[in-house]
Amino acid sequence: MAKSDLPETVPSKMAMSGRKVKILATLGPASNSPEMIRRLLKAGVDAFRINMSHGEQATHAATIAAIRAAEKELARPIAVLVDLQGPKLRVGTFREGRAVIRHGNHFTLDSDPAPGDETRVCLPHPELFGILRKGQRLLIDDGKLRLRVIRADGHAVLCSAEVGGVISDRKGVNVPDAVVPVPALTGKDRRDLAFAVEHGADWVALSFVQRPEDVAEARRLMGGPSSSGAALIAKIEKPAAVDRLDEIIELSDGIMVARGDLGVEVNPEEVPPLQKRIVAATRASGKPVIVATQMLESMIESPAPTRAEVSDVANAVYDGVDAVMLSAETAAGAWPVEAVTIMHRIAAQVESDPGLGAQMDYTEIVPDHTTADALAAACAQIARTVTISGIIVFTGSGSTARRVARERPNVRMLVLTPSIKTARRLALLWGAYPVYTRDIGSFEEMIAKGKRMALRHGFAAAGAKLIALAGVPFGTPGATNLLHVVTVTGNELKRHGG
C-alpha cells in the first residue's frame, strides 16, 4: 500500500453535511493561493482540477503542493485532476491581426504560411486537407463563424461562409463531421502527462477523445493506476466519441461530459439528451461521471447564479452524476468561494428531495454476475428495507466502493482504506466519504474499527444500524465476499480510548 505523511483522516464539516454528489473546482489565478484553496475546501470542494491549457508547469507544481499542504492540514483526502489540453486545431495569422468574412462569401483555408486576409488564411494542419469533403462544416472561434466546404484538395479547402464575422489570429477550428487523424496526445500533452504522474495526480483527463484507441494510447503511456497512481478520465466533447461511447467507457476509469466543445460541434438542443445518455451509460458501467462547463457561468462576474444555472446543476444531481465541475467560475471569477457555496447548497437541496431516488432509478443498473456485485446490490436493498445509517466499505483498490456507488443507495458510504492513493481517487465518487486509515487483519478488528470510525465521523449514533462490506482474506484485491449488519452501542470510542 502507498505510504503517506497524511495522518489518519479526521472528521470534517463536510462529513456532517451528508452531500453525496461531489464538487470539482478548477484552480487558476483567482484561486490557486494556499489561503484560497483552504477556503474552497471549507466551502465544499472535494477535488481540484488543474487545467494544462493555461499556465506553466512550475505554477501548476506549486498549486499541487499547496493542495497537498491543505490536505495534510485538514487531514482529509483530496483528489487532484490534471486536465490535458489535447490536440486543439487553430488557424494561422492575419496581416492586420484580424479580418472580416462576409456572410455568403467564399473563404479559403490553405497550406500557405503567409498572413491571411478576408479571402484566405493558413490552416497549419495538413492532415485536415485529405479528409474534408463537400458539404462538411468548419466551425471557427467556438462556432461564432460557420463555414461549409465547397471543395477540398491536398493543399486548400474552399468554403462558403454560412455565418460570417470577425476572425482573428490563431482562433480555434472545430471539425464536427469528420474523425480528424491527429494523435490523441500532442507533444505538449505527453510532457504534461509525465508532469501529472510525477506530481502525484489522482486523475488525468484526456481531451478531444475521438475513438477508443485514443484512450488506449494514454493508458499505455501512463502505465495504469497501479503503477502511476493516476486514473484516466475520457472527456466526451466530440460527436465521434459519442458514436463509440460504450467502447470508450470500457477503456476509461471515468467519463467527463465536457459540454464546451460538445456544444460547439452539435446543435444546442442536442446537448441535454446527449448529456443524459452519457451519464446513464457511465453510471451503468459503475464508473464515475462528471458534468462540466458553464454550470454557474454567470458567477464569473456575479455573486448570484441565474435561475437557469441553478436548474442545470440540479438536473445533473437528479441524473445521479458523481461530480459537478466549476471551471472559470473558480479559476478566474470574482466569486470563487460563493460559487462553491451555491453549488453545495443546490446539491444538498436536491438530495433532500424524497423523490430523488425515483429520479435516479430511471437508469437501470444490472449487477454483473459476481459475488461482489451481488453484495453491493444487496447493500442498497437492505438500506431501502431497514433503517440504516450508513454503509462501511473496507477496500484497498476502491473497487468495492465503486460497486456500491453504482447502486446509488439512499445512505452514504464510509470508505476505509489503507491506501492514500485510493482515498484520494474516491474523493470524486458519488456518496463516498473516504478515510485513510491503518489496515485491518481480522473480522473482529473490522467490526470494531468500523463502529469507531462511524461514530467519529458522524455516520452513526448509539443504537444505529450499519452495513459493513469487505473481502476476506483481508487485503486481497477484488475479494468482496462479506456483508454484515451491525448495531452501534455508542460506547465503542470510550472502550478504545476516544
**Catalytic site positions:** 49, 90, 235, 293
Q: Nine-digit cell at 292?
A: 462540466
> Residue 343: how many CA atoms within 13 Å on its side-chain side?
37
Q: Nine-digit cell at 196?
A: 501529472
CB 195 within 8 A of CB 225: no
Calculate the dihedral angle through the C-alpha atoms of 214, 220, 225, 230, rounding to the nearest 10 degrees.
-60
Q: How far apart are CA 392 and CA 469, in angstroms?
A: 6
Side chain identity at 489, as an amino acid letter?
A: T
> Residue 321: how many CA atoms within 13 Å on its side-chain side?
26
Closest CA to 203 of 289, 83, 59: 83
CA 158 to chain centre: 39
Whole-angstrom CA distances from 176 to 79, 138, 160, 256 are 32, 7, 16, 19
CB 422 within 8 A of CB 398: yes
Q: What are phi and psi of 152, to 5 degrees?
A: -145, 145
Which residues does residue 355 pair with via DSSP β-bridges, in sequence order?
Answer: none
Pairing mode of beta strands 89-90, 172-174: antiparallel
Query: CA geometry: angle at 429 spanning 427 and 430, to 5°?
Result: 120
Closest CA to 487 of 458, 456, 450: 450
Closest CA to 276 of 284, 189, 339, 9: 284
